[in-house]
Amino acid sequence: MQLYLAPLQGITDWIFREAFFKHIAQFDKTFSPFIRIEQGEFLRKSQCNDILPQHNTFQKPIPQFLGNDSKSFKVFEELCKLHGYSEVNINIGCPFSKVSKHKLGSGLLPYTDDIKQLFDDIFSTSTLTISVKCRLGQEHASEFNALIPIFNSYPLHEIIIHARTGYMQYKGDVLLDEYSQAASELKHPVCYNGDILNIHDIKKLQLISPHTQACMIGRGIIKHPFILHEIRGIPVPKSEQIDALRAFHTAILEYCSQKYSGDFSVLKRLEEMWTLHHEAYDDGKKILKQVKKCKNIVQYKNILFSNLESIL
């Protein structure tokens, strides 16, 4: 089974990816956090920096588009081609209200006519390889029934499905049965996304949904950095894990110093990662509290490097 890195806004940016790929492991595919474009205008032009070639020296990501009109996609396509990308992903799965309330991300899922029009416009002119990342629906998983004939009508390279609805966000159990049914009716290769935390989750997925050809891991890789090794059957002695984590975190700090100005900005970026990463350590909640109280990078380093040996 192919293993993909999920695009987590504010966490799996180029800083995380470069450090992780260099010192811990590489995925079969990786996706950049979305670039949001509306009516042909970038919401934040800085989001484009994530796909710059100089920021992706170990493994190029697949850029992700967040928008709902063909004019915006054209701007996105030109950006991607400029930087040498031939494959992209369309996000119609982001569940957060700041996105979905604008009929973007999972908020676009109930509007099947708009999705069809968007795809008509895109596939009539684009030369890119295009995949989609979505959810089972915005409010109910049954909404996916209306999406299946639409998806099956276009030459999508792949469909990545997070096995929850938009309204669920990341709460509650994943809807594995509903996902499996949807995957079995799609003509395209299907990738699963949602709560993969260990090898047992992979085995359960394969048992329930043999149609699944790939798995996307997001929060699980932040909480359990060596999950790829576990899934691939590669044992990593604890001493090697500690060394790898030390190199990983050192690289994170180095890259952050290139992107941010001042300790405060760096620490806010690191705190975002630690909201998930603390679960990798014994007494991780205590570490997270200490990280949140840090006033400067020196304090942060002292906390970090004194706790690496508590990796679970």
Cα–Cα distance, 37 to 19 (Å, whole number): 28
- Name the pLDDT band for 44 (thresholds 50, 70, 90): confident
Is the model's pLDDT at 91 over the cut of 90? yes
SS3 41: strand
Compute the distance between CA of residue 289 and CA of residue 271 in angstroms, rounded to an integer. Answer: 10
- Nearest to 6, CA basis, from 229, 200, 196, 182: 196
pLDDT digit string, tens, across residues 256-274: 999 999 999 999 999 999 9
Comparing C-alpha atoms, which of 248, 247, 187, 174 is closest to residue 215?
174
Q: How many CB atoms lie within 10 A of CB 254?
A: 12
Q: Tell me how crowded residue 183 is: count the other CB atoms within 10 A of its CB.
A: 22
Architecture of domain 2-232: Alpha-Beta Barrel (3.20)
At 151-210, the pLDDT tens digits run 999 999 999 999 999 999 999 999 999 999 999 999 999 999 999 999 999 999 999 999
Angle (deg, nearest 10), helices 284-293 and 263-277? 170
pLDDT at 133 over 90: yes
pLDDT at 43 over 90: no
CA–CA dist 224, 248 (Å, integer): 14
